[in-house]
Structure formats: structure tokens, C-alpha cells
Structure 1
Amino acid sequence: MELVIDPHFRGPTGSANGGYTCGVLASLLHGPTEVTLRLPPPLERPLEVHWEDDRRRVELRDGDAVVAEARPAEIEMDLPQPIPFDDAAAAALPEGDKDSAFPECFVCGWARDDGLGIYAGAVAGKDLVAAPWTPRDEHVAPEFVWAALDCPGAYAVHGGERGMPVLGRLAARVEHLPHPGEQCVVLGWPLGEDGRKLYAGTALFGEDGRVLGVGRATWIAPRGS
């Protein structure tokens, strides 16, 4: 089996968005999944899917190189209370992060008008970032919930203060899919750090406050930061 990631789903200009890639690979397993990214996921070329451990683990390979690996995971976290859609809109960066190193990112890139447009910003008085998200018809699928749970985590760990971090690992649980046009809220919050490893939690809520998805991410800060 092979997967090809379309450039539409890029994060950095030359590689795929990490959350989207994790979601695509996680879709091959059932239930909560942890995906570790070993290399920037290539675009526009066939990547081989390899099953390991009696199909309990799956690897995505570019030739002999392991790009990513996924395995079942348990994801238990205390979640913050969801905030109203209008409050999330007030917290969000209105035009995106113009200082971002990834302006064409499918999730958070300010230079895109065909992406998810999730521009997480700080919530006043809380150690929390938030953004609104209203999914279009074509974005109602598990891999897009994973994508929505990705970039807000980078802003939750204040990654820009140490240079732009990259996603190293994302564990997520998708509980429900949003409805097209639903006014959803994405939250992100820090979970601590260990050297260059920065940990974040993220959650996606529907307009009735129901939990759509939960993520726990490890971000890697640049060397020397």
C-alpha cells in the first residue's frame, strides 16, 4: 500500500503538515493513536505503508527511511472548559501570524485562503490559546480534526519565543466529527517542557460544547534555543 500527500496539505513549503500526516496514518488504525514523525513528510511521491507487530503498529516509509510510525495510545487529560466561539474569535490572530516561518501551512498559514485558517492567539488572563474554526464540507473527516489539533499546540508552548518548533509527536483521540459550517473552537495549553521538548495539549469543541477531539503533542525547539 502506498500514500501520496498532495502539496495542498503542506506545512513548511517543502513538506506535509504534521498534524494532517499524523491523521492520515492514524486512520489506518482504530481508536486513539500516537504518531511519531521521524522525518519531514515528503510531498508528491509514493510513501510505502508497512505493518509491524501483527498489524498493531504501522510505519510510513520513504524508501528505507522511516518518515512516521503510529501505534495505539491511551490519551487521558484534564481539559479546560470550552470558551464561546466569539471569545475564541477575539483571541485569535485576525490575519494570522505574519512572523511565522510557515506562511503556507495548510492549518495556520496566513498566506493561504484554501486552508483551515486556524490562527490561535492568547486568551486574556489564561495560559491558553484559542481560535475559531468553521469547517467546510471537504474538511469533515478525522484527518482534519487531527490537523486542527496540531498548530495551536505550537502557540500554546510559546514556541516563537525559542524559534519556531516542529512537531515531533502527536497523540490524538477523535470522538466526533464536526458538522459542515459548525462554529467550533480549538484550544491549546502548555503541559511543560524537557530541554528542547515542549509539551502541549489541544482540544476541539463543537458549538454545543461537546468534545470533538483531544491531542497531546511533543514539539521540538530549534537547537541552541
Structure 2
Amino acid sequence: MQPTTTPLIVPQRFHGPPRSGNGGWTAGALAERLTAKPETPVTVALRLPPPLDIDLPIAESETGIAATHEGRTVVEARVDSGELAPVAAATLEEATDAQTRYPGFAQHPFPTCFACGPDRAEGDGLHIFPGRLADDPSRVATVWRPYDVTVPITWAALDCTSGWAAGVDDRPMVLGTMTAQIHRLPVVGEPHVSVGTLRSAEGRKALTASSLYTADGELVATAQQVWIAINPEDFS
């Protein structure tokens, strides 16, 4: 099947920083245009902050497809053949307890972020609020009850869970690269557990991973990411 080449539009609702798209949502939207099979692992690299509410033309690139703005690549996607190692699951009870320690309630670089912003109303933002697990602080976890399910929304949930594992409250970062695989879409209204961990860090970059499970511990989706430290004033 040929990739979908209709322009990519990131609506204002799906912003991360106030003036640009949520990295996970944008990445998932482009991945969906590359392949209609969400179980196919796709790697997406964000080259520029995704602008909001404008057409981003899509064209074939050397390795897949790219969305551009004024002749510059904003985001590009390619099929990935690598294996993704899931983050160990947490129980619903553990995740419920962990999200009471969500650092974003006290300090958040982008409090209106679509996925993890505490200033978003119920039913508008995703309310992904990951906190450290009591018995394993190397992992964060949150409960997520999706009110709407799409490939881009699932990518957004995985994205922001991993960002808090990297500690974006202490060191603001934005998504640089994300590889994700959706085994099946989440179920609307059902509780899910999203877990994340920091795997390594060097300089401005942090390598993270995140996974989404049902309340019964079935793996729904998994991802790995590269986060890049930034000055949040440049994105506000």
C-alpha cells in the first residue's frame, strides 16, 4: 500500500508547547500516513517544532515520507525493523498510587500540553500524569482511561509517559525521535496502565522507553524515544 500523501495538519488542540504540536501526536499522525498497519514499528524524527493549523505537505523521502513547511523538513517517518523491548508492567493499583506523585502538578514546562498538561479539562486533554512507582523509582506509571482512541492519540500517551521518566520537570525537554509499535488500539473507557523508564542519558539527550498495558497486564503498545533538552522559553 502506498503512503498517504494528503497534507498533515496538527490542530491547535493537539499542541504540546503552546505554539507547536505535541511530539507524540504529530509523530503518530505521520506514522499512520506511512503505513495503515499500526503493528508495524515506525520511527519518526522531529526536525522542527510542528506548526499548528496549517497544511504540511507530505512527500516521499529517501527512507520513507516527510512533512515539510516552507521547504524545510518538519518531521519524517520510516519503517523500522528493530525489536522494541517493553517496559515492565505495573498494576492498576500501583499506577493509581504513582500518579499521586506526578511532578507536573507542581511544576510543568508546558501545562496545557494535550497529553500531560494538568491545565487541560477532563475530556479535552489525555490526563497522562506519570509518577514514580513506590517500589521502583526508575519507572513511572499512570492510569489512562481513553475517551477517544486513534493511532496519534496512542502515540501521544506513550510519548509523554516517557518524558516524565526522563525528568522533564527538572530539565525541560522535547521529543526528538520516537519509534512505536501498536499491537492493538486501546479500548475507549477501559482503564489502561502507561509505564515509562529512562534507559540512558548523555549531554542534552535522554533515551527512554514506554509501554501501554491493559488493567490485566496485556501489552497494548510499546515505544522508545530520544528526548532533547531545550529552553522552554523558545517554545512558549
Give the TM-score, by structure 1 length.
Answer: 0.92
- Quote how far apart the aligned CAs of 1:94 are: 6.6
Which of 1, 9, 14 is the equivalent residue of 1:4? Answer: 9
- Quote how far apart the aligned CAs of 1:159 are: 3.1
Equivalent residue, structure 1, for 2:234: none
Contact 2:9 2:52 in 1 (8 A): yes
- Name the count of aligned residue pairs: 218
After superposition, the CA RMSD in angstroms is: 1.6
Equivalent residue, structure 2, for 1:129: 140
- Quote how far apart the aligned CAs of 1:221 are: 1.4
Q: Deviation string for 1:161-180 (max 9, x for gaps)?
A: 3x211110111001111111
Residue 219, structure 1, aligned to residue 227, structure 2: yes
Cα distance, 1:196–1:85 mapped onto 2, change above 3 Å: same
Cα distance, 1:157–1:90 mapped onto 2, change above 3 Å: same
Residue 57, structure 1, aligned to residue 64, structure 2: yes
Equivalent residue, structure 1, for 2:78: 71
Structure 2: how far apart are the matches of 1:112 and 1:75? 35
Structure 2: how far apart are the matches of 1:222 and 1:140? 30
Structure 1: how far apart are the matches of 2:100 and 2:59? 40
Structure 2: how far apart are the matches of 1:7 and 1:93? 28
Contact 1:201 1:216 in 2 (8 A): yes
Q: Deviation string for 1:189-224 (max 9, x for gaps)?
A: 01101211101000001122111111100000137x
Equivalent residue, structure 1, for 2:215: 207
Residue 153, structure 1, aligned to residue 162, structure 2: yes
Residue 118, structure 1, aligned to residue 128, structure 2: yes
Structure 1: how far apart are the matches of 2:165 and 2:101? 17
Q: Deviation string for 1:87-107 (max 9, x for gaps)?
A: 101101477433101010000
Equivalent residue, structure 1, for 2:20: 15
Letter aligned with residue 50 of structure 1: A
Equivalent residue, structure 1, for 2:34: 29
Letter aligned with residue 194 of structure 2: V
Contact 2:92 2:143 in 1 (8 A): yes
- Quote how far apart the aligned CAs of 1:74 are: 2.9
User: Identity over the aligned pairs, expressed in percent?
Assistant: 34
Contact 1:172 1:216 in 2 (8 A): yes
Q: Secondary structure at the match of 2:28?
A: helix
Contact 1:200 1:218 in 2 (8 A): yes
More divergent stretch after superposition (126-135 vs 81-90): 81-90
Letter aligned with residue 218 of structure 2: R
Letter aligned with residue 152 of structure 2: E
Letter aligned with residue 187 of structure 1: V
Q: Which runs of 5+ in 1 are unaligned?
A: none
Letter aligned with residue 73 of structure 2: V
Structure 2: how far apart are the matches of 1:79 and 1:100? 26
Q: Which runs of 5+ in 2 are unaligned?
A: 1-5, 232-236
Structure 2: how far apart are the matches of 1:179 and 1:35? 24
Cα distance, 1:75–1:149 mapped onto 2, change above 3 Å: farther
Give the TM-score, by structure 2 length.
Answer: 0.88
